[in-house]
Structure 1
Amino acid sequence: MPYTYRITESKLELTVTGARGVSVQDINEILKELDVLADGIKYQLFDADKIAGPNHIYYAAANADYAIRNGLNISNNLNVEMLLYAACENQINKAIGLIGVSKKTEAVAVAVLSTNEEYKLSEAIASSLGIVDDSVLDITPEKYESIKELYGITEAAIDTVGADRSEALASLISEKGSLLSLRR
C-alpha cells in the first residue's frame, strides 16, 4: 500500500510507492510512456537507494510547493522543484545525477502529486517500471551508510538528534533540504 500525505497549504495529495527489479535503458523513452500514463498529473521518479524513506519525499514535496507558492523556486515545475529539494541541490542536472533514475537504478521511488489520492497511478507507474515493493523505501544498514555519505551527514549530527538513527538521518536530510531556498 502506498504512503499518502496531504500538503495542506495547497490541498495537494502526495502518494509515494516503490518498485524493485527496475531496468532503465532509455530514461527519456520511459518518461514519454509515463507521461501518457500520468495524463497531466505531476509525478517524479527517484533512485530509491538514495532516498531516506517516504518522509524524505514528503518534506521535499512540501518545501517545493511552498517555494513555488512564494516565488522562491528555481523550476516552474513542481515535480522538478521536488527533485531539487529531495537532493538538497539548487542545480537541476546535479540533482538528477545525485538521486535521479539512471541505467544503474535497480529500485525506484515514485511520487505522485495531485488534488486527489492517486494510489492507482503511483502503483501503475511503479508496476510499469518493475515489481511494486514499498520496502525499497526502507533504510537498510547499507543504504544508511551510502545516504549519509551522499548527503554529507555526519555521525555527530545524527547523535545530536537523539532519535532512531534512520529517523535522524531522514530528519537531517529534510532539514538540509528545507534550507535550500536560503542558499538561492
Structure 2
Amino acid sequence: MIRLHTVDLWKGSRKVKAIFHEIYNTKQKSQNELLEIAEKYSKNLLALQFFNPDLIAGVEHLLSASQNALNALTGQYYKARSLDVEIILYASCQRQIGVALNTLGIRDKPASVALVAIAEDSEVVCRTVAEIISLIGIEAPNPFQVTEERISRIATHFGIESTEIQTVSESETLDARYEALKRCISSRVSMVAFES
C-alpha cells in the first residue's frame, strides 16, 4: 500500500501541497519513458520533477529547493521558465540549467528516482503521485537512506568539509552527521537566490 504524506509549502500567501519521495524503478523505465511520464502528469500539477537521487540529502533538501523556487517565482527573481526547472536549479545549488540537469537530472534506466510533486490540492497530488509510482515501480520504504557513502558523496559534491558537518552535528553518529549535512545543504540551497 502506498503511503503518501503531503507537506505544506507557500506560494505567496497561499498554501500548496507537495510530496517528496524516492521511487524504485523496478519496471526499468528508460530516461525517455520517465520524461514522458513527467510530461503527461505535470499537466495536473504546479510542478513535477524527477531527480537522480544520489546527491539528494533527504526530503529536507527537496523541501528547501521547492520552497526557495516557489519564493523565486512569486518574488519574480526566478531564472528558469518553469517551476520544475527552478526546483532543480535550487536543489543542485546552481544557476545554470545545463549544469543543474547534468548534476541532478535522471539517467537512463536508473535504479531509483527522486520525485517532487506540487499541486494546489492534496488529493490531486496524492492521486497523481500514486499513479506515477504504479507506472515506475514501488516506493522506497526509506527514501534517501543514510549511509557513509551517501554522506561522503553529497559532501564532496557540494564542497562541504567534514569540519563544517562536525560543527553543526550534535554527535558523531551516522544519523547526526546526516542531519547536519541536510542543514548544510539547505543553507547552500537558500544561498542560490543571492547569486547572480
TM-score, length-scaled by structure 2:
0.85
Partner SS, residue 137 of structure 1? coil
Map 1:81-92; keep pairs closer than 5 Å: 81-92=86-97
Larger radius of gyration: 2
Q: Which runs of 5+ in 2 are unaligned?
A: 171-175
Partner SS, residue 179 of structure 1? helix
Distance 1:90 1:35, change over 3 A: same
Map 1:1-184; keep pairs closer than 5 Å: 1-8=3-10, 9=12, 10-21=14-25, 23-25=28-30, 27-41=31-45, 42-103=47-108, 105-117=110-122, 118-163=125-170, 164-184=176-196
TM-superposed deviation, 1:99? 1.2
**Superimposed CA distance per residue, residues 93-150 of structure 1 (whole angstroms, 9 cap, x where no aligned partner):** 1111111111263211111000111122223223322222142322222211111111
Q: Is the 2:16–2:118 Cα contact (8 Å) retained in structure 1?
A: yes
Aligned length: 183
Partner SS, residue 143 of structure 2? helix
TM-superposed deviation, 1:85? 0.5
Rounded to whole Å, the distance in 1 between the matches of 2:157 and 2:44 is 32
Residue type of the partner of 1:150? H
Partner SS, residue 160 of structure 2? coil
Rounded to whole Å, the distance in 2 between the matches of 1:153 and 1:139 is 17
Q: Is the 2:25–2:109 Cα contact (8 Å) retained in structure 1?
A: no
Residue type of the partner of 1:92? I
Distance 1:135 1:45, change over 3 A: same
Distance 1:155 1:3, change over 3 A: farther
Rounded to whole Å, the distance in 2 between the matches of 1:33 and 1:112 is 13
Q: Is the 2:25–2:110 Cα contact (8 Å) retained in structure 1?
A: no
TM-superposed deviation, 1:21? 3.5
Report percent identity of matched pairs: 27
TM-score, length-scaled by structure 1:
0.90
RMSD over aligned CA atoms reads 1.8
Partner SS, residue 113 of structure 1? strand
